[in-house]
C-alpha cells in the first residue's frame, strides 16, 4: 500500500501515464466536463476538497511547466487568483490566461478533469506536464 503522496489510485495512474505537454484540469464543482474526457470527482460537499488543497498536492506530485487560468478569475475571484499565481510562480511555472470560453474548449483535450468541491468563481486551472530532463 502506498503510504504518502496522492493515495487516490485513479489520480496516481493518470500522473504516471502523463507525458510532456499532456494536460489535466483541477476544476471547481461547476466546470462542464466534455464528452470523452475522463472525470475524477473528488467533491464531497461544498468546499471539500478545495481547489487550493488539490493544487498543492498536484504541485508536489507532478512536474508542471505551464498553468492556464481563465482571465475572468482576475476580477471575479481576485484573492484566489493572487494566491494561485504566487504559488505557481514561486515554483517557476509559467502562468497564462485565456478567456473562460476558450478554457472550456481547451478542456476537450485534457487527459482528465479532477472535480473538487470548490464553489468560488473560475477556480479552475489547466496544468501542463513538463519533463524531468
Segment 79-118, tens digit of pLDDT: 999 999 999 999 999 999 999 999 999 999 999 999 999 9
Of the candidates 21, 43, 41, the one whose C-alpha atom is nearest the C-alpha of residue 131 is 21
Please count the other Cβ atoms lying within 10 Å of the Cβ belonging to residue 77.
21
**28 is known to lie in a ligand binding site:** yes
20 is catalytic: yes
The full DSSP string for 78-105 is HHHHHHHHHHHHHTT-EEEEE-HHHHHH
Query: Is residue 122 annotated as involved in ligand binding?
Result: yes
pLDDT at 1 over 80: no
Position 2 pLDDT exceeds 90: no
Set out the domains of the chain in order of their start, with CATH numbers: 35-129 (3.40.1650.10)
Each residue of 50-81: pLDDT tens digit? 999 999 999 999 999 999 999 999 999 999 99
Determine which one of 5, 13, 20, 75 is catalytic: 20
The verdict on whether residue 100 carries a ligand-binding annotation is yes
d(CA 86, CA 71): 16
To the question of whether residue 75 is assigned a binding role by annotation, the answer is no
Q: Is 92 annotated as a binding residue?
A: no
Amino acid at each position: 500500500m502506498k503510504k504518502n503522496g496522492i493515495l487516490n489510485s485513479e489520480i496516481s495512474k493518470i500522473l504516471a501515464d502523463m507525458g510532456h505537454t499532456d494536460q489535466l484540469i483541477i476544476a471547481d464543482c461547476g466546470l462542464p466536463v466534455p464528452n470523452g474526457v475522463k472525470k475524477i470527482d473528488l467533491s464531497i460537499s461544498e468546499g471539500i476538497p478545495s481547489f487550493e488543497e488539490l493544487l498543492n498536492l498536484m504541485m508536489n506530485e507532478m512536474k508542471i511547466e505551464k498553468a492556464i487560468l481563465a482571465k475572468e478569475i482576475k476580477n471575479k475571484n481576485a484573492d484566489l487568483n493572487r494566491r494561485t499565481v504566487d504559488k505557481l510562480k514561486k515554483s517557476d511555472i509559467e502562468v497564462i490566461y485565456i478567456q473562460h470560453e476558450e478554457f472550456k474548449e481547451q478542456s476537450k483535450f485534457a487527459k482528465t478533469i479532477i472535480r473538487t468541491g470548490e464553489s468560488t468563481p473560475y477556480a479552475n486551472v489547466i496544468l501542463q506536464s513538463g519533463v524531468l530532463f
